[in-house]
Amino acid sequence: MKLLIASVALAFSFSSFGADVNRISNKEYVDQWKNVAVEQMLAYKIPASITMAQAILESGSGNSALALKANNHFGIKCHGWNGKKIYKDDDAKDECFRAYQTAEESFKDHSLFLEKNSRYDFLFIYEQSDYKSWAKGLKKAGYATNPKYPRLLIDIIEKYNLQELDQLNQPLISPEEVIALSVNKESVSKRTIKMHQKGVKYIEVKKGDTFYSIGQEIGLTLMQLNRYNDFGNKKDFLNVGDFVYVQPKKRRNIFKKEEIHIERSISMNQLAQLYAINAKSIKRLNKITDNEMTFSKGEKITLR
């Protein structure tokens, strides 16, 4: 996929916007979205500095028509996309671009795009703090056609000290301060959304919680909750203290091996929930075929 690197975005990125008060500056844009970039880094191991620099460059700090009309901050085109679309002249006339309900969805889709496309796998070998190798690697992998793309990203990162974001190991906003909005925009839930050490957001079940009530409260469908969690077919009711993940778990980290010794008898689904790891990944890494596998105390299990 060739992403949008429009000349207008470059112009927005490095120029003053004059008297148009509706435009935001690069610094304002960073302040607005840096926490989302850090959250994406914790979840997907993509340097927050790279995410922010790409967003600044490709969306003109959120001022481009594509960002304003379609919440598309990374110029991702429609290849394989089943959601809403917007058409805009780019390399050719009326090219198709992805349209999102929110800008945050655009940031997440950018992370998934890099994680799921095998041509970017080699980038995850680099240290999270090595933004220069990431910048050069993106160009090498074909993310952009502009030969100056790595230099442009590096200049943005160093001008706004975005490399400092790469040193963080927790969100800029404490998970305890995150407020979940209910589906009904007129009411706000005081429910605390926490962050697992693996970088995945979750809710700890309270008395009276059900899958349906949690989904209604935070705006997720039952299908989404089922996809984000590994409760198994026998889990009909939630128990106080259960973790319910409200975003996809990390599916893989092929460059960092992690092994544990089981401390008590535990099912594979329970293990997946405890460590915020997809149960399918545990099966694959440990060559398991039984979906109802229960591990015994003392067993050694590979998680990454």
State the pLDDT at residue 57. 96
Confidence band, pLDDT 50/70/90 cuts, at residue 250: low
Distance CA 274, CA 63 (A): 41
State the pLDDT at residue 257. 67
pLDDT tens digits for range 51-60:
999 999 999 9
Whether 66 contacts 55, CB under 8 Å: no
Mean pLDDT of 198-212: 85
pTM: 0.54
Residue 253 lies in a domain: no
- For the chain, the domain total comes to 3
Cα–Cα distances (Å) from 296 to 66, 299, 304, in that order, read: 53, 6, 19
> Could you give the 3-state DSSP secondary structure of residue 299?
coil
pLDDT tens digits for range 184-200:
333 334 567 888 877 78
For residues 117 and 40, membership in a common domain is answered with yes
For residues 94 and 111, membership in a common domain is answered with yes
For residues 30 and 70, membership in a common domain is answered with yes
Place of tokens 């209604």: 216
Contacts of 304 (CB under 8 A, 6+ apart): 252, 253, 254, 256, 257, 258, 277, 285
For residues 98 and 193, membership in a common domain is answered with no
Tell which residue, 106, 107, 143, has the closest CA to residue 122.
143
Residue 66 lies in a domain: yes
- Domain region containing 75: 7-167
For residues 155 and 184, membership in a common domain is answered with no
Distance CA 231, CA 270 (A): 7
Task: Indicate which CATH number applies to the domain containing 197.
Answer: 3.10.350
Last residue of a domain, one of 135, 167, 199: 167
